Every structure is written in C-alpha cells, then in structure tokens.
Amino acid sequence: RQFLGGTAAIGAGLAGLYAWNRVDNFAYANIGKMPRLTMPKLLDATESRTAKLVAQKGSSVFKEQAANATFGFNQPYLGPTLRVSKGDFNPIIENQIPTPISVHWHGLLIPGAHDGGPHLPIAKGEEWAPKMQVDQPPATLWYHTHIHERTGHDVHKGLAGILQISDGRDDERGLPSDYGVDDLTLVLQDRRMDDQGFVSYQPAMPDYMHGFTGNAMLVNGQYGSVAVAPKSIVRLRLINGSNARIYALHFEDERAFQLIATDSGYLENPLMMTKLPLSPGERAEILVDFSSGKPALLKSDADPNQGPGGMMGNMMGRMRGMVDAVFDRSIDILPFVVDERVRPRITKFADKLDAPAFNLRRGDVVKTRTFIMDLMGGTEGFSINNQRFDMGRIDVDVALGSTEIWRVGSHMLAHPFHVHGAVFQVLSEGQSLPRPHNLGFKDTVLVGDEVELLIRFDHPASKEHPFMYHCHILEHEDAGMMGQFTVS
C-alpha cells in the first residue's frame, strides 16, 4: 500500500526477484510458537562503581540455523545494560577484536578525554579504563564503538549496549522499574537478512545515499520474538540502534501511550500520543497500558528517507525503488502478549515528573552557529558546512560553560544530528514550535526542516580529545558527515 502510481507495477513485478529487500510480515497465528524476548543482561554498577566490558568476536544465530559472525561486549552480540548512578564510574574496557574499537558513552555528560570517540581507539589486546563522574538526571543512554570509517560496520556487527542512569527513585515517581518485567529495554535494529538467516552489511551506492537499511527487525539482537507484559502499565525504553532506519512507532490498534522521557531524561509533563518518531541514536521512554489484557503489535511507518514521503527523499526513494524493486513500507517491530500471572504493579499513567535540572536559558546565549548536513557539500560530498570530516582539523571552539544557539539544517534527506558532551533543547523546527516528541532535553534530533537548538557546554574537550557532532546515520558519519569541537 506504500507503492504509488505506475512505479508500483515495476516494484511489484520485480519484488519476487529481490525478496531480500522485503520486510517480513507478522502473523498473529504464530504468536504461541515465538520465543520470548529477553532483556540484555543487567550489570548493576551503582554499588561497585565499575564494570568490565570485553569486546569480542562471536557467532550469532538470528533466524533458522544460520551462524553469523558478530561482535559483542561480554557476549556474542551487543552488550549488557550498564546501570550507573551519580558519582564515580570506572569501567574497564578490553578489546579482543583484531581491529581497533572504542566505547563512546552516547549521552553521558563527561569531559572529552573520557568520551570514547574516534580519538580514543583501543587496539587489540589493550585496555581502556576511564575514570568518570556521573552527574546528570536519570536517563536511558547507550554506548557504542566510534572508530572513524568503521562505526557503521562495527556497530552493525554488534558493538553497542545500553547505559542506564538511575537515581533509585522510580518507585516514588510511580514508574515501572522492574527490569525485564514491567520495565523493558528494547534495542531496535533492522538488518538485511536472507531467507537462510544470514545477515549482510555491504553498503552499495544507494545505501550510502540513504543509509543502510534492512528487511528484518532485531530487538535486543533477537529475531521473531514476542515480548511478555504484565496486565498493567509497562515502561518501554526504546533505543534506535539501527544504522540508518528512521521509525515512526505506533501500535497496530493505535492505542495511546505516554511519552515520559526523551534522550536526556524525564519530561516534566508526560505527553499522550499515538505515534512516536525515533531516528538513529535517539531514545524515548513510553508507558503503555496492557491492563486490558489484549495483545499488541508495535509497528513503524515507512522510513521517510527510504521511500515515499518527503521531497527529495521521496524522489530518490523512487530511484532506489527502481533498483531494489521494492519501496520501503510499514514494518512490524515487536508483538506483545500479556501474562496475567504476573502481579501488576503500576496501574496508572504518570503524573508530573521531576524533570532534568538542566535549566538552559535563552538569555545566556553568547553565540549562534549554523551547521548544514549535506550529501553533496561543495566538492566534498558527505559533509557538514561543505567540509568532510578530518581527524586533524578542529572545526569549532566553544567556551566552557557557555550557552549557544545551533541552527542545524539538512539538504535532501532528513539527518539525525547528534552532539557529544552537551545537552540541548529544541527551540524550533522549521520556524514553528518543536513537535511534541522533541520538547524534552536531548542529545540527538532528526533534522528535516531547520532546527534551532539551545545548547550548553559544561564539559571540557581538548584538541587531542575533542567532541564530535555528526549525522547518526552511520554510513553518512563514516563517509564524513561529522565535525569536531573543543570546549575550553
């Protein structure tokens, strides 16, 4: 139903030949046979203040019997959920993979020297032991490797995990907090998978343009599983860990859910909605009501960059469609069933929450800068402000403690813009007020129309260990849609 006009016939005609590019469809009849979705293992560092992560090679079966060569932290694919709280956090990361990796703490507000970006590679056999201070409100963050020109490949292989900041007060807030029971962590990743269950990552030209998307969904590294919810309010921590896919999440029955947190923490006023856009790198926490006992199916609309929808994206999506024979379309993410035997804990949606105390003030703004993400910037191609990323060039120097406005625009496609080491608030989107899901504090925002960000820099970063700003479509980032800045 996403096919349009005459091109639909071409798409439909060739669809059989290119079945790998089709998104698998969900059949409720199979729900009883589906394996139960499991959570990433929880590594609670709130007491120990440390955690060991070992990047290693693994073998992962996602579908059928196909063994895929993957990477993970402490396991074959992805890594544990690290739970940290205010105060010291001294993890130890060891690399057992032949190529260099890094561990970037996406969303953690710490100095550049601990940030784990491209300037902090860990060679095979080496260890990295940053000594950090966590000092920010509860939030769902994540960690992933960030070696320039390898990020797309290595994150796709599995080098990512969740970093949860907790203050232990969610019971007082009346929020679900029982890990894996009524507080579910869902890492969303689409993969290009063949009928045998082999996953590939071989971006060709259109994939570089649009970012590498797939035809099959993994949730927490699992294919074709079903989540089990108690007959109550359930919290979903949604992490878009995909290389490129932009989701517009909603339930098949269009049930309303409550957005309680964005990238950097709780919203003061939770918002009811039925559809939630989530671009690569972004996180959102929602409360969903399962008290009726009815099963549910989490779905997503088509990616605006991949197929019909949105200006040039639309046009190029059609060109791609000619090649791939199938346009991107609505996909099934994850089915839920209700287990009535689990004692319900939380039975109502959230009221007002104590929101992050970032207190960004427009009156404090000392400077305005503009950034344009582009696929064809000047002679440079994938670029920001017509410059392709260069490890040896610092693009921006920011004053420590200052507040600025960053105007961010994009050409042709929608690009998720992420800034390291800082938190921001979206002031406007395309001259209008931000859309509801962009009202909270954030570190990544999807830029279609120009956005204005109110951003403060409280953490230092030197020339040796600068912070990055970049498009979080990993193929774009690897191709050079990234810049770096110091804070001093």
**Residues interacting with ligand C2O, by CB under 6 A?**
104, 106, 144, 146, 281, 418, 420, 468, 470, 472
User: Could you give the CA distance from residue 284 to residue 300 in angstroms, rounded to a whole number?
Assistant: 15
Two tokens, residue 347: 């039975």
For 316-334, b where at least 16 C-beta lie within 10 A, e where not — what string?
A: bbbebbeebbbbbbebbbb
Closest CA to 228 of 290, 145, 162: 290
User: Could you give the CA distance from residue 359 to residue 268 in angstroms, rounded to a whole number?
Assistant: 12
What is the smallest separation between the CB atom of 484 and ligand C2O, expressed in angstroms? 10
User: Could you give the CA distance from residue 71 to residue 94 in angstroms, rounded to a whole number?
Assistant: 13
DSSP for 249-311, please give it.
Answer: EEETT---EEEEEETTEEEEEEEEES-EEE-TT-EEEEEEE-TT---EEEEEPPPTTTSSSSH
What is the smallest separation between the CB atom of 419 and ligand C2O, expressed in angstroms? 8
Give the nearer residue to Cu ion in terms of CB position, either 333 or 446.
446
Q: Is 473 an interacting residue with respect to Cu ion (CB under 5 A)?
A: yes
What is the smallest separation between the CB atom of 472 and Cu ion, expressed in angstroms? 7
What is the smallest separation between the CB atom of 417 and Cu ion, expressed in angstroms? 8
Give the nearer residue to ligand C2O in terms of CB position, either 277 or 317.
277
What is the smallest separation between the CB atom of 279 and ligand C2O, expressed in angstroms? 12
476 binds, among Cu ion, ligand C2O, none (CB under 5 to 8 A by kind): Cu ion
Give the nearer residue to ligand C2O in terms of CB position, either 301 or 477.
477
User: Could you give the CA distance from residue 483 to residue 469 in angstroms, rounded to a whole number?
Assistant: 5
Closest CA to 236 of 283, 197, 191: 283
487 binds, among Cu ion, ligand C2O, none (CB under 5 to 8 A by kind): none
Of 106, 148, 415, 470, the one binding Cu ion (CB under 5 A) is 415
Backbone angles phi, psi at 208, to 5 degrees: -65, -40
471 binds, among ligand C2O, Cu ion, none (CB under 5 to 8 A by kind): Cu ion
470 binds, among ligand C2O, Cu ion, none (CB under 5 to 8 A by kind): ligand C2O
415 binds, among Cu ion, ligand C2O, none (CB under 5 to 8 A by kind): Cu ion
User: Could you give the CA distance from residue 93 to residue 271 in angstroms, rounded to a whole number?
Assistant: 38
Give the nearer residue to ligand C2O in terms of CB position, either 150 or 420.
420
User: Could you give the CA distance from residue 201 to residue 214 in angstroms, rounded to a whole number?
Assistant: 9
Nearest to ligand C2O by Cβ — which residue?
A: 106
Give the nearer residue to Cu ion in terms of CB position, either 212 or 441.
212
User: Could you give the CA distance from residue 326 to residue 13 in angstroms, rounded to a whole number?
Assistant: 9
63 binds, among ligand C2O, Cu ion, none (CB under 5 to 8 A by kind): none
What is the smallest separation between the CB atom of 15 and Cu ion, expressed in angstroms? 27
Q: Is 145 exposed, middle or buried (0-12, 13-18, 19+ CB in 10 A)?
A: buried
473 binds, among Cu ion, ligand C2O, none (CB under 5 to 8 A by kind): Cu ion
Three-state secondary-structure class, residue 392: coil
What lies within 8 Å, CB to CB, of 38 at 6+ separation is 180, 220, 222, 225
What is the smallest separation between the CB atom of 438 and ligand C2O, expressed in angstroms? 18
Q: Is 188 an interacting residue with respect to Cu ion (CB under 5 A)?
A: no
Q: Is 445 an interacting residue with respect to Cu ion (CB under 5 A)?
A: no
Contact in structure between 118 and 145 (CB atoms under 8 Å): no
144 binds, among Cu ion, ligand C2O, none (CB under 5 to 8 A by kind): ligand C2O
What is the smallest separation between the CB atom of 415 and Cu ion, expressed in angstroms? 3
Of 72, 476, 480, 482, the one binding Cu ion (CB under 5 A) is 476
Give the nearer residue to ligand C2O in terms of CB position, either 343 or 393.
393
What are the distances in angstroms from CA 108 to CA 74, 100, 136, 390, 435?
A: 21, 22, 8, 24, 24
Residues binding Cu ion: what is the number (CB under 5 A)? 4
What is the smallest separation between the CB atom of 21 and ligand C2O, expressed in angstroms? 26
Give the nearer residue to ligand C2O in terms of CB position, either 285 or 443.
443
CB atoms within 10 A of CB 34: 17
The site for Cu ion (CB under 5 A) is made up of 415, 471, 473, 476
